[in-house]
Amino acid sequence: MIRTELNAAGIGDPRLRDAYRRCREINAKHGRTFFLATRLLAPDQRPPVHALYGFARYADDILDVVDPAQGTDTRAEQLARLSARFFAGGDHDDPVLAAVSDTVHRYDIDPDLFTDFLASMRMDLTVTDYADRNALNIYMRGSAEAIGLQLLPILGTVGPVEDAAPYAAALGRAFQLTNFLRDIDEDLMRNRVYLPADELAAYGVDRELLMWCHHNRRTDRRVRSALADQHDVTWQFYRLAADGITMLAPRSRPCVATALTLYSEILNRIEDSDFAVFGRRATVGTTRRLQAAGTGLIRAWRARAGTDHPKSDAA
């Protein structure tokens, strides 16, 4: 399978092929729902998407290390080295950097999107709370929206890329806001709260109350009301993102639609649990994921039927 994908993408250099294989392994291991959705892409699209995921995971692993010996200064140095190596054109001794640098070159992805991404990653070293929605939006510009925009040249569009960009950014934001709700308990253990403090305060919620919920494995009624409000905000971004799917190249639509469906169902699971997010993690069951993927796969085959050139439907 991977050989077919690499051949379809025109990746012939043996070292690059190994690099893309490594990124695929990382995606399969750490991003199960995302990896499942990539199976709905055309074979030539999968390797560059895996490369982007591998790079994002690379930075994430630096930030979320649990080794107490690696303090903020150490992680800041590691992130700075990663940034320097990436902007120097990659490091062919590092498979992830080699693959993502090749992807950026092949698809002419705007380097500023990686500047934004790494800026947000640096914020995670020192910022533990967000006073309001605007402060969180600044963080999400690089941590969520930039990811969606990086993918656009690979997915292809039926019109100008700039027309589809707001919808791609909205989808990245919807996915991350879902993560913030699902992972609130885990983030508290890392001393982080990714929800606007002023919006929580409107319901009488602060960090102290969230920690009470964490320690007692219970969702206080005030926290439940605050999270329900955040749930509604997140759904607004899913609705906006859904409106932009028709702007994508036809062969990419089944993948994005399936990813949107599965991730929004995580949001549904959170609501169905009455926001019991402390001590448990909302998931979509394997049966449901495979069902959605199966439906998406049929649609993907139909969309790709008669497409001869891998980039024939790109903008």
Question: pLDDT digits over 106-127, tens only?
Answer: 999 999 999 999 999 999 999 9
Cα distance between residue 233 and residue 136, in whole Å: 13
The three-state DSSP-derived secondary structure of the chain is CHHHHHHHCCCCCHHHHHHHHHHHHHHHHHCHHHHHHHCCCCHHHHHHHHHHHHHHHHHHHHHCCCCCCCCHHHHHHHHHHHHHHHHCCCCCCCHHHHHHHHHHHHHCCCCHHHHHHHHHHHHHHHCCCECCHHHHHHHHHHHHHHHHHHHHHHHCECCCHHHHHHHHHHHHHHHHHHHHHHCHHHHHHCCCCCCEHHHHHCCCCCHHHHHHHHHHCCCCHHHHHHHHHHHHHHHHHHHHHHHCHHHECHHHHHHHHHHHHHHHHHHHHHHHCCCCCCCCCCCCCHHHHHHHHHHHHHHHHHHHCCCCCCCCCCC
Span 304-315, mean pLDDT? 47
CATH superfamily of 1-126: Farnesyl Diphosphate Synthase (1.10.600.10)
Query: Mean pLDDT, the chain, as a whole number?
Result: 90
Residue 307 has pLDDT above 80, yes or no: no
Per-residue pLDDT at 31: 82
Span 50-78, mean pLDDT? 84
Residue 265 has pLDDT above 50, yes or no: yes
Span 157-167, mean pLDDT? 95
Residue 313 has pLDDT above 90, yes or no: no
Question: pLDDT digits over 4-23, tens only?
Answer: 999 999 999 999 999 999 99
| Cβ(214)–Cβ(185) below 8 Å | yes
Per-residue pLDDT at 65: 63
Residue 225 has pLDDT above 60, yes or no: yes
- Report the predicted TM-score, pTM, of the whole model to 2 decimal places: 0.88
Span 243-258, mean pLDDT? 94
Question: pLDDT digits over 67-106, tens only?
Answer: 556 688 888 999 999 999 999 886 678 999 999 999 999 9
Cα distance between residue 207 and residue 124, in whole Å: 17
202 falls in which pLDDT band (50, 70, 90)? Answer: very high
35 falls in which pLDDT band (50, 70, 90)? Answer: confident
**Residue 149 or 69, more confident:** 149
Would you kindly state where each structural domain of the chain is located, as residue ranges? 1-126
